[in-house]
Structure 1
Amino acid sequence: MLYLRAARVPWAGGRRRPAGGYRTPRPDPLAVLRTRGRHGSLAEPAGRTRAHEGLCWYRRAARNGIPVAVPVRDPAAAERLAALTHDGMQDLMPRPAAPPASASVPASVPVDGAGPGAVAAAPPQRRRGLFYGWYMIAGMMGIHWYVSASFVYGFGVLFVPILETFGWSRSIGSLTALFMQPVGGAVGPLIGAFVDRHGARPAAIGGVIMIGLGIMSLAFMQSLWMLFASFSLVSIGMSSTMGVGFNTAIVNWFRRQRGKALGIGFSGGALSGPFVVIVVWLEATYGWRESAFILGLGMLLFGLPCAMLIRSKPADKGLNPDGDSDAQVVAMGNPVEGGMTSGQALMDRNFWVLALIYGVLSTGISGFMLHQIPYLVSLGFSREAGAFSLAVMTLVSLLGRVLGGMLMDFLSRRDFDLRIVPALLLAIQMSSLLVVAYATSYWQIVIFASLFGISFGGMIPSRPVLVGKLFGLPSFGTIQGLTNFTSVPFAVLAPMILGLFFDLQGTYFTGVLFLAALSGMAIPIAFLLRLPRGSGNPFLQTEGARESRAA
């Protein structure tokens, strides 16, 4: 068994063209190195760019003193490799296996499946312990859970007592709730630009403070404009945290498990339903003003420590995305993700196709959820059955969020067409609306709630994954905020359209069929996305690719 070891050698940088030119065509800028073998211990250049990519990678290893693993079948091949890289690795020669000189250099291991003359070296090692990105995910889940339990779902407990105190009509209260969506959507691009410039951490901390103060201010409310002001403050805070800040932090911290991390990070809201009973107890015991103050104070006391866990980028903690070690980053060619600016994204067809797809998905979610219980009551079901269907939908959406994110990762790794994910979500939403439109029995309501929950949950992680895939990371926050803003008209108009159908015909049936037809017509639109195939980001560049472009 022979081993190759790259020692730290002086190298001034740059790249010299070998005599006689390269033996391979100019490499594709998106070419990357693939790792294989046990524990990823075998790293070799991929395809037709082997000679050039290998040269760049071995030079990088030489600069950092990192052991390299090369699949050569005989000592003569090792000699030729050393000769090929003589300008950057003059002491790269076959040598017997030896223990690592220090604890920082991982021990060498044999290469599985290689011939008797195989050259092996140490596998890149991951950092020990749980990757810090998952602690961030836990903090995001906590914030999402508390906001959903205390306000998104819990405010319904305080809603009726507030209306009775001031003598306001239900329509005015519903208008206030709808007012949150355009406010949050309008500030989304501004918050995204702030996140791109200053990071997700200050946005998340500021968002938690705004949510807490907004809920607390309800306790001092004396007029309708104060209700609008409180809701606006909460809406801006939610956009700073769950709207843009969390998405940007997750896509920066995770690359291979991006969809899974997004699904788990936004699953806290699906777990909040059972805790609404605490809000019910608070209102019954202390009244709605005291309850609002307690819930807002709890947001500050619980949410701020969770927000302090957030870091904008893994480099802030001296880490790499996904917890990869420095040796693994070198083995992958030191990838760096580029991307479009927000202006370039607005000029790209993909942006508007994506906005239309998720706008249609928003019509079903925001439009039908507001009228779900009244519609089921109009069909002859009890209010308890309607509330149960809402609970089933919320719990199943947890499964949709996690599995939807994992599906995005799986399809990306297997080089499948990711456009099938939004198309599938639209098809599931259409099917669920058709089921509930013709529902006559209780089990059909359960089927509807399950399908609708999967579509709702899968929408949450899939959009930021596609935004990162299509437009890259440098302006991700701004572009994500813009896509959220484009969904606002759909989300606001959908419940109004359903209400209009009910006022004109005395039934929701035609309105539900309209939403189902809209979802069905959007399915082929999903395939208009010009989505690059392959694992990883189309803007991902390796060390070798960047050097080749500079030549």
Structure 2
Amino acid sequence: MVRRPKIFYGWYIAAAGFLSQFMFGVLMFHSFGTYVALMQADFGWSRTTFSFAFAAQRIESGVLGPIQGWVIDTYGPRKVMIIGLVLFSLGFILLSRVESLPLFYISFTLIAIGSSLGSFLSVLVAIVNWFRRRRVLATGILTMGFAVGGLTATPMALLIEGIGWRDAAFASGVVGLVVGLPIAAVVRHRPEPYGMLPDGVDSASQVAGEAEQIEWSMTAREALTTSAFWFLALGQSSALLVIGSLMVHLVIYIHEDLGYALGLAALAVTIQTLGQIVGQLLATLFGDRVPKRPFVILALLGHSAAMLLLALAEGLPMIYVAVVINGMAWGSRGPLMMGLRADYFGPRRFGTIMGFSSLVIMLGMIIGPIFAGVMYDQTGSYRTGFIVLALVAALGSVMFLMVRPPPERERWLAEAERMAATRPS
């Protein structure tokens, strides 16, 4: 018998994902630039050094991706999240004791593995399996947690500066366990074992006793042979060139190169976040009702325009305009791209497919910050590096211009429509 609770359980998972992304955003991603500025002042390490730390974090996430995706698809996301949260917290506690560069890299490796296992992909796999009709809306709720966390960038920067980065890191490790573990307990892999059906599936007769018949799905091996898989991954990677470089270098660029106070530099992250929230709200509200691909193309062009403005900026107004554009592009692109990937490849092996995608996607998060850091160390300016990254991001829009659904999916949909038309009413 199919259970139909008053509030669909998938929304609890989406809410848990929001809180999880909020926590990781506040503790790590939106605060990374502040840690860089304060630790550079204490240790005198180069910007390339910190860029490599951030890149190593993304390498861990990317390399783990296929394994993580397979483990999630096979054993469920909750167990993976718990392991990730423990590693994430341990990494931050270790960071609070850092006195040398090797220990710094070890601590960030643990944080990287923990953040990868403990949050986004694990919850995203659950959402893709629980939602069909309102998948983009649920994905938007998940990703919005990260964006809302960015609103804390300024107060977090002041807090980290006020209490010291060591105490802040230790406290972050404690919070990761105390807050994260109850969140992970909410997440469930698929609705069918709990007597429920995915959102958008009206009756058990639709599945005909086989979960795979609910919606079109490909195996990871099948997806890897399609051009759609590679165009989507390369296009997303080009966008992350911009995101990764600004996560590492935006605050220190504004603070040290342009000479503004750390609070004003962190305010740029907050403003970017407001733009991100607006973009996510638009994508969340309309993403299930409009063609996704054209808006992703516009978002890639927005990333490119933002980087050009930052490269040429001479004052705060131009910087704030640039980060608003970048934020809106980032916010709208995320849910639409995840929805597009789920539409093309289906939910059954989504974790594994997304994991293999991360091997390509991670290149943007790795190359972007390192390239910007190396260009700065070589030239004493971010301008050339930012302009090159802007041009590559623009090329990413061409990837989405070229992407098409897998032919197998189109044939499956045509056959499903034919069978529906001939079924007795």
TM-score (norm 2): 0.85
Change in Cα spacing, 1:138 to 1:364, as seen in structure 2 (3 Å) is: same
Change in Cα spacing, 1:151 to 1:404, as seen in structure 2 (3 Å) is: same
Q: Counterpart of 1:488?
A: 362
Q: Distance in 1 between matches of 2:252 and 2:101?
A: 25
1:72-221 to 2 correspondence within 5 Å?
127=4, 129-159=6-36, 168=45, 171-221=48-98
**Letter of the structure 1 residue corresponding to residue 85 of structure 2:** V
**Letter of the structure 2 residue corresponding to residue 145 of structure 1:** F
Q: Counterpart of 2:330?
A: 456
TM-aligned CA deviation for residue 462 of structure 1: 2.4
Change in Cα spacing, 1:446 to 1:310, as seen in structure 2 (3 Å) is: same
Q: Which moved more, 1:515-524 or 1:467-476?
A: 515-524
Q: Counterpart of 1:400?
A: 279
Q: Is the Cα–Cα contact under 8 Å of residues 243 and 481 in structure 1 kept in the other structure?
A: no
2:128 to 241, 248, 251: 251
Q: Does 1:388 find its partner at 2:305? A: no
Q: Is the Cα–Cα contact under 8 Å of residues 371 and 495 in structure 1 kept in the other structure?
A: yes
Q: Which runs of 5+ in 2 are unaligned?
A: none
TM-aligned CA deviation for residue 295 of structure 1: 2.1
Q: Counterpart of 2:401?
A: 527
Q: Is the Cα–Cα contact under 8 Å of residues 51 and 248 in structure 2 kept in the other structure?
A: no
Q: Does 1:507 find its partner at 2:386? A: no
The SS at the match of 1:527 is: helix
Q: Counterpart of 1:346?
A: 224
Q: Counterpart of 1:231?
A: 108
Q: Name which structure has the greater RCO, CA cutoff 8 Å, separation 6+.
A: 2
Change in Cα spacing, 1:165 to 1:429, as seen in structure 2 (3 Å) is: closer
Q: Is the Cα–Cα contact under 8 Å of residues 263 and 404 in structure 1 kept in the other structure?
A: yes
Change in Cα spacing, 1:401 to 1:378, as seen in structure 2 (3 Å) is: same
Q: Distance in 2 between matches of 1:275 and 1:507?
A: 28
**Letter of the structure 2 residue corresponding to residue 423 of structure 1:** I
1:25-44 to 2 correspondence within 5 Å?
none
The SS at the match of 2:199 is: helix
Q: Distance in 2 between matches of 1:424 and 1:175?
A: 30
Q: Is the Cα–Cα contact under 8 Å of residues 207 and 239 in structure 1 kept in the other structure?
A: yes
The SS at the match of 1:366 is: helix
Q: Counterpart of 1:478?
A: 352
Q: Is the Cα–Cα contact under 8 Å of residues 57 and 109 in structure 2 kept in the other structure?
A: yes
The SS at the match of 1:225 is: helix
Change in Cα spacing, 1:537 to 1:166, as seen in structure 2 (3 Å) is: farther
Change in Cα spacing, 1:505 to 1:209, as seen in structure 2 (3 Å) is: closer
* 1:339-365 residue CA offsets vs partner (Å, 9 max, x unmatched): 222222222111111121111111121
**Letter of the structure 1 residue corresponding to residue 229 of structure 2:** F
TM-aligned CA deviation for residue 135 of structure 1: 1.1
**Letter of the structure 2 residue corresponding to residue 152 of structure 1:** F
Q: Distance in 1 between matches of 2:411 and 2:97?
A: 49
Q: Counterpart of 1:75?
A: none
TM-aligned CA deviation for residue 423 of structure 1: 1.1
**Letter of the structure 2 residue corresponding to residue 464 of structure 1:** M
Q: Does 1:337 find its partner at 2:207? A: no
Q: Does 1:262 find its partner at 2:133? A: no
Change in Cα spacing, 1:292 to 1:539, as seen in structure 2 (3 Å) is: farther
Q: Which moved more, 1:342-351 or 1:504-513?
A: 504-513
**Letter of the structure 2 residue corresponding to residue 428 of structure 1:** G
Change in Cα spacing, 1:538 to 1:506, as seen in structure 2 (3 Å) is: farther
1:363 to 241, 247, 263: 241
Q: Is the Cα–Cα contact under 8 Å of residues 189 and 481 in structure 1 kept in the other structure?
A: yes
* 1:66-110 residue CA offsets vs partner (Å, 9 max, x unmatched): xxxxxxxxxxxxxxxxxxxxxxxxxxxxxxxxxxxxxx9xxxxxx
* 1:306-335 residue CA offsets vs partner (Å, 9 max, x unmatched): 11000001123321112755379589x995
Question: Identity of aligned pairs, percent?
Answer: 29
The SS at the match of 1:419 is: helix
Q: Distance in 2 between matches of 1:395 and 1:379?
A: 24
Change in Cα spacing, 1:408 to 1:373, as seen in structure 2 (3 Å) is: same
**Letter of the structure 2 residue corresponding to residue 346 of structure 1:** L
Change in Cα spacing, 1:433 to 1:206, as seen in structure 2 (3 Å) is: same
Q: Does 1:517 find its partner at 2:391? A: yes
Change in Cα spacing, 1:291 to 1:432, as seen in structure 2 (3 Å) is: closer
**Letter of the structure 2 residue corresponding to residue 531 of structure 1:** P
Q: Distance in 2 between matches of 1:424 and 1:280?
A: 35
Q: Distance in 2 between matches of 1:130 and 1:536?
A: 33
Change in Cα spacing, 1:246 to 1:330, as seen in structure 2 (3 Å) is: closer
Q: Does 1:498 find its partner at 2:375? A: no
Q: Distance in 1 between matches of 2:195 and 2:73?
A: 19
Change in Cα spacing, 1:267 to 1:210, as seen in structure 2 (3 Å) is: same
Q: Is the Cα–Cα contact under 8 Å of residues 52 and 370 in structure 2 kept in the other structure?
A: no
Q: Does 1:313 find its partner at 2:214? A: no
Q: Is the Cα–Cα contact under 8 Å of residues 149 and 272 in structure 1 kept in the other structure?
A: yes
Q: Counterpart of 1:122?
A: none
Q: Is the Cα–Cα contact under 8 Å of residues 337 and 539 in structure 1 kept in the other structure?
A: no
Q: Is the Cα–Cα contact under 8 Å of residues 283 and 335 in structure 2 kept in the other structure?
A: yes
**Letter of the structure 1 residue corresponding to residue 241 of structure 2:** T
**Letter of the structure 2 residue corresponding to residue 530 of structure 1:** R
TM-aligned CA deviation for residue 542 of structure 1: 6.0
Change in Cα spacing, 1:508 to 1:293, as seen in structure 2 (3 Å) is: closer
Query: What RMSD over aligned residues (CA atoms) do the two structures have, in Å?
Result: 3.6
Q: Is the Cα–Cα contact under 8 Å of residues 33 and 248 in structure 2 kept in the other structure?
A: no
Q: Which moved more, 1:464-473 or 1:354-363?
A: 464-473
Q: Is the Cα–Cα contact under 8 Å of residues 30 and 247 in structure 2 kept in the other structure?
A: no
- Larger Rg: 1 or 2? 1
Q: Which moved more, 1:273-282 or 1:422-431?
A: 273-282
Q: Distance in 1 between matches of 2:94 and 2:376?
A: 35
Q: Distance in 1 between matches of 2:308 and 2:46?
A: 32
Write 1 or 2 for the structure with the bigger share of helix.
2
Q: Distance in 2 between matches of 1:493 and 1:238?
A: 20
TM-aligned CA deviation for residue 205 of structure 1: 2.2
* 1:234-254 residue CA offsets vs partner (Å, 9 max, x unmatched): 211221233421111111111
Q: Which moved more, 1:194-203 or 1:435-444?
A: 435-444
Change in Cα spacing, 1:541 to 1:478, as seen in structure 2 (3 Å) is: farther
Q: Distance in 2 between matches of 1:389 and 1:279?
A: 12
